[in-house]
Structures are given as C-alpha cells and as structure tokens.
C-alpha cells in the first residue's frame, strides 16, 4: 500500500540523463534541427510544437505572418510563422503555443532559412497592446536603436530581458562565465566560496556597506547585536580570504558579488558588481613571478573573449551588439610596460600627464590602451599608491627630470603589481604578487596607518607558517562584459543595477 | 622609441592558449604524468621541479623521506619524496621546492605508485614547529579523524584549507558546481545575475539583513540616505527577479549567495549560503507542469552527484570523506508522493505525526527520506503553508479522518509545489509552478497580509503582458554538499561560515 501510494503518481522521464525529453524544445533548437535537415537534403516537416512571444503580426486575407521569439535565438533574430487564415486578436507581447511543421523560409536573412508553417495557435497569456510599454517598438521591430525603449527599460528593469539588446548581453555574459569556469577547471584551479559578509573594512576607505539584522535595527538593540557587537560589512574583494584558501590548495578562484558604497551624480558606478578573482602559489622570485600572474590573467581574458564569439548564435549576438571582432587581440601578444615607462610616454604625448608617483587617471588609462590599440599591461606602480599587500620590489626607481620635474634623483619604491587596460573601458584586471615577508608587510601597514589586530590571521599566521610565494588578480565581470559587447552604460549591462539613489526592485 | 619601451619588457608565453607552460605543474599532474609513463612501460625520470608543503618528515642516516602535498591530490594522498642524505631543519608546514625525477614508488597504496627521487630542496617559506597549531597532527598524518584538528579549524578558519578533510570538501564542491554550470548550458539555460541587494523583504518575515552605507551610519544621516530613503536588504532568494529574466529568455538560472538573519544557540543555520536557482517558461497545464519542474531538478541533482564521483581524484576525495557511493540513487527513479500521501504515511507510522495542514517538521522530512532510502519528492502542499507565488491547484483535497482527526469532510486547497527530501539531510530542493493568474495572486497576497505596492512590477506587469506559464526551483548548495560528502556540521562545509554571534575574518 505504501509503495502503491508513491509509484502511482506520474513519473516522467526520470531515467533520461538529459532533460531534452522532459522540456519542450527552444526555438533555437527547433531552428537548428530544421536547418540541419535542409543541409542534409531532407524535407523538414515532422509535426512540432513551438512556444514564444509574438514580436510582430501582419495579417492578410488568407494568412497571417508572425515573428516570434523565446529569448534563445541570437541577436535580433526571430522565427517567422505562417498561419493559415486571417487570425484576429494576435498582438505583440502575447505568449503563444503553435503547432505545425518547419519548412524552407522565404526571407533573405540567414536567420530566415526556415520558417514555421502553423496550423494551430493557442494564446497562453495575453498582452494588452494599448498599455504594454514595449508594444509599439516590438511592432516596429527596431528595438536595437530605439532610444525610447532603452529609456523605458533603464527606468523599468523588469522589462529588460524582453529587449534584444539586453538579452544578447546576458547570453554573452553566460558564455564568458562558462568559458571562465572551464578554463580554471582545466588548469587545476579549485573554485571556492569566500565570505560575502566580512569583518574587515581595511581596503574600503569608508566606502563600504554595513550588514545589520533588520530586527536589531527595528528593536533598537544596536546595529551589531546579531554579530555580538562586532562590525559586519559587505566584501569589497574576496582576496584576503582567497589567500587563505590558496595557501592550502595552491590554485583557487572565486566568482562573487562585491560591493562599494560609492556613487556620483552620473551614477556611472555600480554599488554591486561581480568579480572573478584568482589566487595561486609557487611564483618564482623577481619579475618572472609577476609576469606569471600577467600570463595567467591574459590567458583567461583571451579565453573569455573568444567564447563571446564561439558558435553561430554567439556571433549573431556579437554582430547585433555592434561589437567589432577582436581577432587581432586574440592572437597578438598584449604589450607590457612599467608604470615608469607609461609615465614617460604620457609626459611626452598627453596634454595633462601625471608626474611619477601620481595615480593614473581614467583618461590616462584609456589613452594608453587607445595608443597601443590593444589591451596593455602596466606593471610596477609606486608603492605609496597601492594597497599594503602588494609585494615590494627589491630594485628602486631613480627619478629623472622627464619623470618628475622637481624630484630628479630621488630613489622610489615600487610594488610587483599590474593593471590591464583595455580600449574604451580602461582598467579591466588588477593583480599583484603578494607580500610574503612579515616585516615588510608590517612596515607597509604602519605606513598606511591601518589597524592590524583584526588582520593578524592574514599578516602573521599565513606568513609565518609555510607562506609560499603567491599572487593573484581580479577581473571585473561587468567591465569585461562592457568591453566585449561594446556597451557603454553600466545600466544596460546589468538586469537590476544597484546605484546610489532610490532603490526599486 | 615608443615600441622599444613596450617590447623591451619580458613577455612570457603570451601566444600559448594554455597556461600549462606558464605555471609550474601541480603535484596531481606530475603524479599522473609519471603514472602514465609507468603504464606505457617508459622509465619516468625526466628532470622535474615540484612544489608543496611538507606533511611529514622521517630522517635516516643516508636519506630523508618526506610526504608533501599541494592541495591538488585526492583525499589524504601525498607524494613521497626521497632526499639523499640526512636533511636537517625540515619540518611539517614548510613550503618547499624540490628538484629531481619521478620513479616507481615503494609504498603499498595506490597513491604511492610513484615517488620523487630528489637531489635538491629549497625551503621557500619556513614554519615554526613549536607554535604551528596544525603541526603535531600533520606529523601524525591523521587529520581526518583527529577531533583536535577539527576543533582548531572550526575556531580558526584560516587554517581550514590545509586540512585534507576540508580540502576534499572544497574540491568536491568545485566539481559539482562545474557540472551544474555545464548541465544548464547544455540544456539552453542562460546564467543571469539577479541583484543581491534588494528592496523586497516579502519572504523574510523579519529574519533579513539590512544594507546600510557605513558613512550614513557614522554620520548619522539615517540608515537609508544612500538609497534616498528606501530600504535595502540582502536577498533571501533571487526568484522574483529571476522570473523577470525568464519571461524574456525562457530558461534562466543563477548561482548566488543568499542571506537569512536567523540563528539559534546551536548555530546550525548559516546566515550566508549559496543557492542555485532555476526558472523556466512554457510549462504545460495541470500536474504535468509541476512534474516537469521535478524532472528538471532531478536531472540536475543527479548530474551534480555524479560529478562528485567522476574521475580518480574525485573518487579518492569521496572515499576519504566516507561518502557512500550513491550508485543506486543515480539510476533508480526517485519516488514522488503528494503531501496528502505523506501525511497519511506519517500518521500510520510516525510517533509524532502531523495532521493535514501542519508543516512537515525536519524529523518528518528525514523520516520520509529514510523510509524510502532514497531522495523523495513531496508535492502539492496545503496552500496556507506556502508562499503567495506558488500556483493554486484547481482540484481540492477532501480531508478524511486518517488525515485530520477533527476536520473530516473539509475541502482544502493545495499549491503546485514540491520539496525534494534526501536521506540524512532533509529538504534539499524546493520549487513550484508560479501563479500566473493575477486575480488569484492578489487574493493570496491579501490572505497573507502582504503589502503589494512595491511588488506591482512582479504581480501586475509580469502577469498582464505575456506572462507565460513558468516555474522553477532552488537548490541549497551547502545542503547538496553536505549530502554528497556526508558532512554533518555546516561549519565543516564552508571556509569562513557566517553564523549568529561574534564575527571574525
């Protein structure tokens, strides 16, 4: 009786290893199956069921032409449907289910090689044309360049995934993330989950978020009651914790949201974004160690960029987004120069150059990438402008008049770090060799005026007991996506962007 | 001159597509390369360089035996090293670099088929045996069952990745996450990034965290100044936002940290954990729609579990962790029964059974999974015990005396939802068909007494305009890992666990 009770309920396809049988095919798979049949010279024609949203409808006396999409086709491609008869009440935005058969298409575009000859349509969910904000643009089928649509979905994020442009960006991101996951696995890196809530605010300089239990706030128990009086923050980088993982597992990486409580009037900064961070041991001494970190990040970024173009749908997405093909960047080596060389270059070419010791401003970074017309690595920045954990170089830099007008002759310290600057975006990756010498680390912490007691585990324990030479880097995922997809505004990259100001959603 | 400046800096291996050439091999790859050479009948023997930490050292007059590990070998395997001469000052915990050649090993275990005959050793980082907390256990090489070590690393998380048990758990997690990523990609699901900071607290019931800019807190500007007076929370589930993505892209998933401000004296709950959530459109009507969601989650969980056992190192990890092989669960279908059937079963077998309408307690869930000795799906729970967004079933349930002693004859509503219960852990997956009918949704929100104005985009817009039938599920990653690796304590699953109480790290 017991078994009857449980065996009696429906069990659908539980033995299959793929869900293909358990889920209706996507338009992408229906289309490519029909195209393969055409290529083989077979008639398409077996009965199929297709699901999607109506993008546009054109009624004639004897038949109705629909364009439908389900978000799985590349770029702004749709599937053309030919329905017999003059079908009333079909409007853009409706969710429909169609039965029929695929046949050779009558369109000119490559995406129109096949079309669906339908004999039955069910409207699964209606859409009121008069009030649907995206309706008019969907009818014109010109969302890509329609600034009205762009404005609507910037304000009303919940429509965003229905626009071809954002859908193409999201699909590209997914392809790049998968390529990144596979690259790390192939190279024996272990993915780990460092904490998002953290006790350390040492990098934040105040631009950091606090995490407070809502009940503590409302019952006025003090903002840290949940944490027994400790302060809790949202992480700005998982690096310090990642180092603890690396010093047992040799090669680790993470893909985590990170948070910065910064914001400007222009809202160009995201308060929440995703970072891919890697940390690994066994670096050789000297410049070779740093260049190994550069190599690793260069390989990874190349692989991600390559994935954005891999496959027909990926190419359709990238071409639709107007992303130029980065073929040259995928095969040519990326120039590497030191901060000192970069300053020298800027001082002889740029209108408002830095002096040695100044931070490179965004305009300098973009100038350098544009100048080389390639991603470019800048290494060995001045010690004073970089965080305490970056390894101090043993060689010092002697300032010359072309580097600093008034301080020629000074001996300056640098650290074994780098930024990868890319055309149009600026800084994409940052990384360094980590300071493994406890005395140097303590001196740099003291210089920076940082409290160290809470970081004793990091500074002392990780270094005094088998603190193997290690380094790592972080890639901003939204910046990578912005670069790959030629998307300028961060708000167009992220589904529900978090920026300073009113919070919806 | 410009080009000279940039070409003059070292460029290492920038044309290679793999970093293999740019990074020193791991012990795992050195070992498997030597084993393949042995299998082919070749003498190993080419000069190699190996890096790792000393696990134990045994000195003899003419030679010294070391066991080293770099975190890439499976289980508690180490690489045996034979160094000529009586080597002084070699201690557990040191990071070392060894030069020599691989040769057939002299040990009995499979992991000892090869060993390293070394002629040179550099200590890259020392470790003070007298003060290193893990040293004594490393020497005894018995960490796996050493409760002292377990206690030390529960208190001091930064040592955790150095213990074989936690390292095996982390590697298993990475394998399962990669398998999950690939399964979704193969099945045309698009990975998306829903927001972590959210404006909605509708599911939290108060056990939720607030996100406050640190500067606002310190300058007493009011906790919501950064958000222009709006409230910001850490997400408890990405589902609502995921639905907006699914209604444009058809099949989406996410892997995100989620947060609950709950805690008990036993600290068995994590305040921060990771959820894999999926959402997809085009479900058929009625029970078949729900069972499609079950199918999808069943396939995914099977694939993840399979990945935990795939490959030699994976098997070494799982066997070391004492995880029983789940072979039967990978091939046999998982029983499915309704909540009503589950209550009937519990009322005839369990000492403290629920009446129809009660929530299933953890003990009931575990009893059901143990009873079937298999993962088991329980579907169609009472409407009143489940969130507003789950789809109401059209058929009602008539209570009988064996379901509820005093309410026989009552007609009760259920929702098209499910929990997947697994032996030893309890609830692993939860999911449902989503309520796509606006009027029903509004009635359920009103019943639950929830404020709806902030959710208008979800309730109204997503449903009035092409709100295709859809559903989804969420898998708790730490629970999945706990089940796969037979790890009881959550603190042993996560590198830096966040629980109510003092926050370190």
Print pLDDT tens along chain B (505 aa). Answer: 333 333 333 333 334 445 656 788 999 999 999 999 988 988 767 899 999 999 999 988 899 999 999 999 999 999 999 998 878 889 999 999 999 999 999 878 877 899 999 999 999 999 998 899 988 766 655 444 567 888 889 999 999 999 999 999 999 999 999 999 999 999 999 999 999 999 987 655 678 999 999 988 887 777 789 999 999 999 999 999 999 999 999 999 999 999 999 876 566 789 999 999 999 999 999 999 999 999 999 999 999 999 999 999 999 999 999 987 777 888 888 999 999 999 999 999 999 999 999 999 999 999 999 999 999 999 999 999 899 999 999 999 999 999 999 999 999 999 999 999 999 899 999 999 999 999 999 999 888 887 678 889 999 999 999 999 999 999 999 999 999 999 988 889 999 999 999 998 9
- How many of the other CB atoms lie within 10 Å of CB of A402? 12
Can you tell me the distance from the alpha carbon of B150 to that of B184, in angstroms, rounded to the nearest whole number?
Answer: 35
Cβ <8 Å between A256 and B257: yes
Backbone angles phi, psi at B301, to 5 degrees: -65, -40
Query: Is there a contact between B335 and A281 if contact means CB atoms under 8 Å apart?
Result: no
Interface residue of A182, A214, A294 to substitute, partner B, most B CBs within 10 Å: A214
Residue A273 and residue A478 in contact, taking contact as beta carbons nearer than 8 Å: yes
Chain B residues in contact with A458 by the CB 8 A cut-off are 158
Mean pLDDT for back-to-back runs of 10 residues, chain A (505 residues): 32 44 88 92 86 93 94 95 88 95 86 92 93 76 64 92 96 98 96 95 74 86 87 95 98 97 74 97 94 96 95 95 84 94 97 96 94 96 94 96 94 97 94 96 87 85 96 97 92 93 91
Q: Residue B123: helix, strand or coil by DSSP?
A: strand
Q: Strand B336-338 to strand A426-433: parallel, antiparallel, or no bridges (unpaired)?
A: unpaired
User: Which residues in chain B are closer than 8 Å to A229, comparing Cβ atoms?
Assistant: 502
* Helices vs strands, H then E, count in chain B: 16, 18
**CA separation for the pair B78, A346 (Å, rounded):** 52
CA-based nearest residue in chain B for residue A126: B466
Answer for the pair B90, B68: CB distance below 8 angstroms, yes or no: no
CB nearest A501 (choices: B228, B462, B498): B228
Measured CA to CA in angstroms, residue A47 lies from A22, A119, B159, B386, B442 at distances of: 17, 10, 60, 39, 39
- Which residue, among A92, A221, A250, would best test binding to B if mutated, counting the most B CBs under 10 Å from its CB? A250
Q: How many residues does chain A have?
A: 505
Question: Is A495–B192 a contact, with Cβ atoms under 8 angstroms apart?
Answer: yes
Single out the residue of B129, B141, B120, B132 nearest to residue B56, CA to CA: B141
Q: Assign B424 to helix, strand or coil.
A: coil
**Out of A192, A217, A302, closest to residue B170 by CB:** A192
Structure confidence at residue A139 (pLDDT): 60
Question: Over chain A, what is the mean pLDDT?
Answer: 89
Q: CB of A254 within 8 A of CB of A238? A: yes
Chain A: closest CA distance from residue B27 (Å) = 10
Q: What's the start-to-end Cα distance of chain B, in Å?
A: 49
Backbone angles phi, psi at B458, to 5 degrees: -80, -50
Distance, in angstroms, between A187 CA and closest chain B CA?
A: 7
Is B455 within 8 Å of B199 (Cβ atoms)?
Answer: no
Question: In angstroms, how far is the first alpha carbon of chain A from the final one?
Answer: 48
Contact between chains at B244 and A72 (C-beta distance less than 8 A): no
Question: Residue B18: what pLDDT?
Answer: 53
In this complex, the residue of A187, A214, A468 whose CB is nearest that of residue B124 is A468
Segment holding B328, helix H or strand E: helix B327-331
Residues of A in contact with B191 (CB under 8 A): 173-174, 177-178
The distance of A38 to chain B (nearest Cα, Å) reads 23
The pTM (predicted TM-score) of the whole model is 0.94
Residue B381 to residue B391: CA distance in whole angstroms:
11
pLDDT, position A202: 62
Give the closest of A53, A188, A257 to B29, CB-based: A188
Residue written as token pair 């095919």: A25
So what's the pLDDT on residue B490? 83
| Cross-strand partners of A380 | none
The pLDDT of residue A15 is 42
Residues 6+ positions from B424 with CB-CB distance below 8 Å: B366, B369, B370, B483, B486
Separation CA B156–CA B169 (nearest Å): 17
């Amino acid at each position: 009786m017991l078994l009857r009770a449980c065996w009696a309920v429906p069990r659908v396809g539980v033995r299959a290893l793929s869900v293909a049988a358990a889920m209706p095919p996507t338009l992408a798979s229906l289309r490519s199956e029909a195209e393969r049949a055409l290529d083989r010279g077979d008639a398409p024609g077996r009965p199929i069921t297709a699901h999607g949203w109506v993008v546009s409808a054109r009624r004639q006396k004897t038949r109705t032409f629909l364009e439908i999409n389900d978000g799985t086709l590349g770029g702004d491609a749709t599937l053309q449907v030919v329905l017999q008869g003059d079908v009333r009440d079909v409007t853009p935005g409706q969710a429909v289910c169609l039965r029929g058969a695929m046949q050779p298409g009558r369109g000119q575009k490559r995406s129109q090689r096949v079309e669906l000859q339908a004999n039955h349509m069910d409207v699964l969910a209606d859409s009121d044309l008069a009030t649907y904000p995206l309706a008019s643009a969907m009818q014109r089928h010109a969302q890509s360049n329609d600034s009205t649509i762009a404005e609507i979905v910037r304000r009303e994020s919940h429509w965003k995934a229905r626009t071809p442009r954002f859908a193409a960006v999201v699909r590209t991101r997914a392809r790049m993330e998968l390529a990144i996951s596979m690259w790390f696995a192939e190279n024996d890196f272990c993915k780990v989950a460092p904490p998002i809530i953290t006790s350390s605010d040492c990098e934040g300089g105040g631009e950091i978020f606090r995490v407070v239990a809502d009940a503590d706030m409302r019952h006025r128990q003090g903002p840290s009651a949940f944490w027994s009086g400790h302060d809790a923050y949202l992480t700005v980088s998982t690096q310090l914790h990642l180092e603890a993982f690396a010093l047992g597992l040799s090669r680790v990486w993470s893909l985590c949201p990170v948070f910065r409580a910064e914001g400007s009037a222009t809202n160009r900064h995201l308060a929440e974004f995703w970072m891919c961070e890697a940390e690994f041991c066994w670096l050789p001494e000297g410049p070779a160690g740093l260049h190994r970190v550069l190599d690793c990040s260069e390989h990874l970024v190349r692989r991600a960029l390559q994935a954005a173009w891999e496959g027909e749908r990926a190419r359709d997405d990238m071409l639709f987004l107007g992303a130029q093909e980065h073929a040259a960047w995928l095969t040519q080596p990326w120039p590497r120069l030191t901060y000192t060389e970069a300053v020298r270059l800027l001082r002889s070419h740029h209108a408002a150059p830095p002096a040695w010791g100044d931070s490179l401003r965004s305009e300098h970074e973009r100038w350098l990438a544009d100048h080389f017309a390639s991603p470019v690595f800048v290494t060995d920045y001045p010690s004073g402008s970089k965080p305490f954990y970056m390894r101090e170089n043993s060689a010092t830099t002697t300032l010359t008049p072309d580097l600093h007008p008034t301080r020629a002759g000074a001996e300056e310290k640098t650290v074994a770090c780098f930024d990868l600057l890319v055309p149009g975006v600026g800084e994409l990756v940052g990384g360094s060799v980590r300071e493994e010498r406890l005395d140097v680390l303590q001196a740099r912490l003291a210089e920076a005026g940082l409290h160290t007691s809470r970081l004793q585990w990091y500074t002392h324990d990780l270094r005094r007991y088998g603190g193997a030479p290690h380094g790592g880097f972080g890639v901003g995922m939204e910046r990578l996506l912005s670069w790959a997809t030629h998307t300028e505004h961060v708000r167009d990259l992220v589904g529900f962007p978090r920026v300073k100001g009113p919070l919806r959603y």
